[in-house]
Structure 1
Amino acid sequence: MYEIHFLIYEMLPIPLTRFLSLQIIFFEDRNFQGQCYECSSDCPDLSSFFSRCGSIRVEGGCWVLYERPNYVGYQYILSPGEYPDQQQWMSFNDNIKSCRSIKNVYGKSWKIKFYDEQDFEGQSAEWTEDCPSVSEAFKFSDFHSCVVTDGAWALYEQPNFKGQQYFLDRGEYHNYTDWGAPSPGVGSFRRITEF
């Protein structure tokens, strides 16, 4: 039995320890107090585990948290570290109702292409680095569609990586509503480099 497990482990292209290290801990109260819930996989509905979230400790992996069940609502992107209150993850309330780990984005390259019209029409611009100010770097600041060909990205509604966040991984986004935004305005964006 030991030999079979050893052979399976040797055939995996990504070290198994990467998957075993995914962990996030939700605490009901600020400063890691109150009841807690440990999570190591995607969860579409956290409401049966806790009613409010006052602090979070990310022990492994990067996570996207959502304000409502089924990965809907405001998004919060957290990398490993401690978040003693909601302000640390840029939230104004204690509603965290679903979460998922950021997966399948291993590598050392990032590439995203934005379009000023939906369905990949109009002016376009390709980017491979963080951008703290869209208005200074682009001829257009309304992104109606985009294609992520490499890596994972976080879009922010305000410059300097502030305001509402939106997580984008590899794929096509025909309209800004595909990434959960209520409008096409983007103030800044950055690569997600910690997994």
Structure 2
Amino acid sequence: MACGDEKIIVYTEKNFSGACAEYRQDQPQLGDFDNKISSIKVFGSVWIGYTWPEYKGYGLLLEEGEYPDWQSFHDIHDDYLSSFKKMDMAPLCEPSNIQLFASENFSGQSTILQSSVSDLPCYGFNTTSSIKVKSGAWVLFQKPNFAGRQYILTTGSFPTKKSWGADVNAGYYVDGDDKISSLRPVKRPGNDPDDDIKVTLYEGVKFSGRKHVFTSKDDNTSDIQGRIKSAVVNGRKNWKLYSVAYPKTGATAVTELNYSNPRYPNPTSMPGADNTDGVQVLSLYPVKPDE
């Protein structure tokens, strides 16, 4: 996608079909497309979609790329988008630096981060009450592995949970709305595909149910409680999934998901995984296709 062609195209049906509209400027209201968007393409830019008009409600980060169905861009409910705002590109060109504080007004335990963390509690940071974004743009997630409600922040100081939006009632999440469990820098448009290596695993078929996002190897996927029944691969690496934690050298993978065939809607679509009950995943590794 050309970095200079800054626009977003929305579609009323999955897989980029149905009626469509193209936007290049902020859209406080979507008219005939209000709450009717099922797939999206983003070119050369980053947008925030909102579940209510006038940029209110729950914010959803839409980075450069293609989103063939609503599960690929949020985990709330089909079609719930009512306004769009294009992000300023300047913060995306800065180094990423954020400081989290356990207590309000920048007090208590703190940690400074410059890259993604998929599970803050495992990292040793359980509570976030105030934040300083020193540079860059960040997306913070309610749940581990970059899932759940999102908070999108750029350079600034946020002394209370209210100041970074944790008290906004979006009408979808109730328990743990103000909890931050994972975070990452917002991706700059035009990055090489190798900079966006990830796999998204779903506990339901056709990309439904609880989802788990991984951007690097994980020797013990303790957060996965059910069997995996569908998956999506991003970037130019395959993923080997194992049914044991901490697999030894030479261990046989349950399946290998190939980036050249990135969407696996059910267990039988995964190579070697013919069990319709799904795949048990206790560890996984990104690998080059020839490894």
TM-score clears 0.5: yes
SS of match in other structure, 1:141? coil
Structure 2 unaligned blocks of 5 or more: 168-176, 190-291
- Summarize deviations over 1:55-107 as a string: whole Å, max 9, x none: 11112211111111122222211212111110011232211111112212143
Q: Cα distance, 1:108 vs. partner?
A: 4.4
Instruction: Give the AA of the match of 2:188.
Output: E
Cα 1:194–1:44 shift into 2, 3 Å: same
Instruction: Give the AA of the match of 2:46.
Output: C
Q: Is the counterpart of residue 110 in structure 1 residue 96 in structure 2?
A: yes
CA distance in 2, matches of 1:101, 1:21: 13
- 1:28 corresponds, among 1, 4, 12, to 12
SS of match in other structure, 1:152? strand
CA distance in 1, matches of 2:160, 2:27: 26
Instruction: Give the AA of the match of 1:23.
Output: K
- 1:69 corresponds, among 24, 41, 53, to 53
Instruction: Give the AA of the match of 2:19.
Output: Q
Q: Could you say which structure has the larger radius of gyration?
A: 2
- Summarize deviations over 1:25-69 as a string: whole Å, max 9, x none: 1111222122111111222222x1413111111122111111111
Kindly indicate whether the alpha-carbon contact (under 8 Å) linking 1:73 and 1:180 is maintained by their aligned counterparts in 2. no
- Runs of 4+ with >3 A deviation: none
CA distance in 1, matches of 2:56, 2:100: 23
**TM-score using structure 2 length:** 0.57
Instruction: Give the AA of the match of 1:62.
Output: V
Cα 1:81–1:165 shift into 2, 3 Å: same
Kindly indicate whether the alpha-carbon contact (under 8 Å) linking 1:22 and 1:101 is maintained by their aligned counterparts in 2. no
Q: Is the counterpart of residue 50 in structure 1 residue 50 in structure 2?
A: no
Q: Is the counterpart of residue 85 in structure 1 residue 69 in structure 2?
A: yes
- 1:101 corresponds, among 73, 77, 86, to 86
**TM-score using structure 1 length:** 0.83
- 1:193 corresponds, among 187, 191, 202, to 187
Number of the residue aligned with 2:119: 133
Bigger RCO (CA 8 Å, 6+ sep): 1
CA RMSD of aligned residues (A): 1.8
CA distance in 2, matches of 1:125, 1:154: 16
Number of the residue aligned with 1:152: 137
Q: Is the counterpart of residue 39 in structure 1 residue 39 in structure 2?
A: no
Structure 1 unaligned blocks of 5 or more: 1-16
CA distance in 2, matches of 1:107, 1:85: 29
Task: Compare the two structures and name the one with the higher helix fraction.
Answer: 1
- Summarize deviations over 1:112-157 as a string: whole Å, max 9, x none: 111111222222211111111101113x322111010110001011
Q: Identity, % of aligned pairs?
A: 31
Q: Cα distance, 1:109 vs. partner?
A: 0.8
Residue correspondence of structure 1 range 170-189 to structure 2 within 5 A:
170-182=155-167, 183-189=177-183
Instruction: Give the AA of the match of 1:184.
Output: D
SS of match in other structure, 1:116? strand
CA distance in 1, matches of 2:79, 2:179: 26
Q: Cα distance, 1:187 vs. partner?
A: 1.1
Instruction: Give the AA of the match of 2:152.
Output: F
